[in-house]
């Protein structure tokens, strides 16, 4: 009987995938298909949990099958991250007119990422204070206590890494190891290696122009192939979002959400405030914020469901280039750096909220000026190298809380709603990556204003074609 029900559940998913395919064949826009997948996924996941129960074996096995589509799509995206980052950055640098532009681009992108993370920390402090959040008010069960013990054990590993060692971890000792994504800082290491290769080609062009030209032609050819692969994978986005959302909602701990509802509401109010701050920044730089958010929405929808900043790199890069008029070199670097540096949701907002919640438990006034200044500075410094996958916020929280002298175990009480909160955090992380690339291009006069304002240049299939 269980097998029959599982087959029925899988058949339902396949039916809706068929609907999305029909929408594609009838030329419905990419945005409409993405949000159709998102909405249907929410409804399907809720119905599955309602019918079978969160702890049922049928639901568990159904989710396993759904993950073939959802997690499979994430794997395809992760598959193309390294070749996309490497080839696109090399190609962008060797096509630059001036090598000094590379330094300016890097400084502006990182500057935007870090400064917005520090503002996100202030918003996190304000949100916790506004909602009067206190870690001691939350009851802990076995799962929460186990999570707290795990965080304390993980803290030992984090504390053993000094600041100089962390900086060294960015430098690739074995680029082939980093190509596998083995380390949290692998993406940054690949970026650094790619920049070195690009700079080397610029130097070679002056001394041996024939070899440099041959290498440039090879890179351009490989770039065209990689971008075609990106196009093929990105067209699977609506199906991936459908399965991911259904899986996430079906596994959601409703009881945990009800118990920690105040924290959930506070978190999303704070994340909405960060998004508003991003849009205000866009406006201050002379750009239309409505246009920015409208064109970014499909990518943010995927980030929301996947909970992976690294997995969203291909979409983050493409939406800047194809929809917002950002120069390819800037778009690729912003997408790559933004996946591991200055993440507003995971490395800025979340650790600040936890710090303010936990501080009173050890007799510290979280609104004391010295506490706030120290917290914001630590968050700014520690926002380098946060892993761009689900769970990166945990490491950011460990670093910040331990640096502030606060107990980390209390952060484990939020385990039951971690996935739900992480969805919003990841969307904000990705929005900040898009923001940093767009504003950097604006500052350096490398933003095509006509393309930015062109309402027809949205993240659609015809824009993905090459």
Query: In the structure, what pLDDT confidence band is assigned to residue 284 with cuts at 50, 70 and 90?
Result: very high
In angstroms, rounded to a whole number, what is the distance separating the alpha carbons of residues 423 and 305?
Answer: 6
Cα distances from 258 to residues 42, 131, 171, 255, in angstroms, run 18, 16, 45, 5
Of 57-71, 268-282, 411-425, minimum mean pLDDT range:
411-425
Q: Which residue matches tokens 């304002």?
A: 453
Q: Which residues of 319-338 are buried (b: 16+ CB within 10 A; e: fewer)?
A: bbbbbbbbbbbbbbbbbbbb
pLDDT of residue 308: 81
pLDDT of residue 157: 52
pLDDT of residue 220: 87
Q: Cα dihedral sign for 88, 341, 338, 41? A: positive
Question: Which range scores top for mean pLDDT: 242-256, 285-299, 349-363?
Answer: 285-299
Question: Which range scores top for mean pLDDT: 175-189, 255-269, 309-323, 393-407?
Answer: 309-323
Average pLDDT over residues 165-193: 78
Alpha helices, DSSP H only, in 285-327? 289-306, 313-322
- Report which of 23, 22, 27, 34 is spatially closest to residue 73, judged by C-alpha positions: 34
In angstroms, rounded to a whole number, what is the distance separating the alpha carbons of residues 308 and 335?
Answer: 12
Query: In the structure, what pLDDT confidence band is assigned to residue 462 with cuts at 50, 70 and 90?
Result: very low
pTM of the model: 0.80
Q: Which residue matches tokens 């994430």?
A: 74
Average pLDDT over residues 5-30: 91
pLDDT of residue 420: 81
Q: How many residues does the chain have?
A: 466
Average pLDDT over residues 168-182: 80
The structural domains of the chain, ordered by start, are 2-464 (1.10.3860.10)
């Amino acid at each position: 009987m269980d097998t029959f029900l599982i087959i029925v559940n899988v058949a339902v998913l396949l039916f809706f995938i068929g609907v999305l395919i029909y929408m594609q064949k009838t030329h419905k826009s990419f945005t409409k298909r993405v949000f159709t997948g998102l909405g249907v996924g929410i409804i399907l996941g809720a119905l599955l949990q309602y019918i079978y129960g969160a702890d049922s074996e049928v639901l568990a096995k159904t989710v396993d099958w759904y993950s073939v589509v959802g997690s499979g799509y994430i794997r395809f995206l992760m598959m193309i991250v390294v070749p996309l980052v490497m080839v696109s950055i090399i190609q962008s640098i060797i096509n630059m007119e001036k090598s000094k532009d590379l330094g300016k681009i890097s400084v502006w992108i990182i500057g935007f990422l870090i400064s917005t993370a520090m503002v996100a920390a202030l918003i996190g402090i304000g949100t916790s204070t506004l909602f009067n959040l206190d870690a001691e008010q939350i009851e802990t069960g076995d799962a929460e206590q186990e999570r707290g013990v795990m965080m304390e054990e993980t803290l030992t590993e984090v504390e053993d890494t000094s600041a100089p060692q962390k900086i060294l971890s960015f430098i690739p000792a074995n680029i082939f190891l980093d190509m596998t994504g083995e380390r949290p800082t692998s993406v940054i290491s690949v970026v650094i290696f790619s920049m070195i290769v690009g700079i080397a080609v610029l130097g070679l062009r002056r001394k041996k122009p024939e070899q440099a030209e041959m290498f440039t032609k090879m890179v351009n050819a490989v770039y065209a192939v990689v971008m075609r692969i990106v196009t093929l994978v990105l067209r699977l986005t609506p199906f991936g979002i459908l399965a991911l959302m259904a899986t996430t909602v079906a596994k959601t701990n409703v009881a945990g959400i009800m118990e920690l509802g105040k924290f959930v509401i506070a978190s999303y109010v704070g994340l909405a405030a960060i998004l508003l701050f991003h849009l205000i920044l866009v406006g201050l730089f002379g750009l239309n914020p409505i246009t920015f958010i409208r064109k970014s929405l499909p990518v943010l929808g995927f980030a929301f469901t996947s909970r992976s900043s690294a997995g969203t790199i291909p979409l983050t890069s493409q939406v800047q280039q194809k929809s917002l008029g950002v120069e390819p070199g800037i778009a690729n670097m912003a997408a790559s750096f933004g996946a591991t540096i200055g993440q507003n949701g995971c490395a800025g907002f979340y650790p600040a909220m936890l710090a303010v919640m936990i501080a009173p438990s050890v007799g510290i006034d979280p609104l004391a000026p010295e506490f706030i200044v120290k917290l914001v500075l630590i968050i700014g410094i520690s926002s380098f190298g946060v892993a761009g996958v689900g769970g990166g916020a945990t490491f950011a929280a460990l670093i910040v809380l331990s640096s502030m002298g606060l107990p980390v175990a209390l952060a484990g009480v939020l385990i039951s709603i971690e996935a739900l909160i992480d969805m919003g955090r990841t969307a904000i992380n990705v929005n900040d990556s898009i923001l940093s690339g767009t504003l950097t291009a604006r500052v350096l006069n490398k933003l095509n204003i006509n393309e930015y304002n062109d309402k027809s240049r949205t993240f659609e299939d015809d824009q993905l074609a090459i």
